[in-house]
């Protein structure tokens, strides 16, 4: 899923689900990957999150940040 550029705000956002069953949330303003959900684990800004008691919180916080960055959540 991708979204068109918002010319008033000057950024675009996107989420993609390529064939390899990986979901990637990107901030296209700077081209950076914010969150990736892959078969081998979760990645925040390109770094794999260790599977521990804090894993769910880190992924949730990053997803909320992505929603706010893209304007989908106030």
Domain-wise residue ranges, the chain:
1-50
SS (H, E, C) 7-51: CCCCECEEEECCCCCCEEEEECCCCEEEEEEECCEEEECCEECCC
pLDDT of residue 74: 81
pLDDT of residue 21: 82
Tell me the per-residue pLDDT of 25-73, one tens digit each, with 9 for 90 and over: 887 667 688 899 888 999 998 999 998 989 999 999 999 988 888 888 8
Say if residue 3's pLDDT is above 50: no
């Amino acid at each position: 899923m991708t979204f068109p550029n918002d010319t008033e705000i000057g950024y675009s956002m996107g989420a993609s689900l390529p064939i390899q069953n990986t979901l990637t949330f990107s901030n296209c303003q700077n081209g950076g990957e914010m969150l990736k959900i892959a078969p081998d684990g979760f990645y925040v800004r390109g770094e794999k999150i260790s599977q521990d008691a804090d894993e769910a919180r880190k992924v949730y916080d990053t997803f909320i940040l992505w929603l706010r960055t893209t304007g989908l959540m106030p």
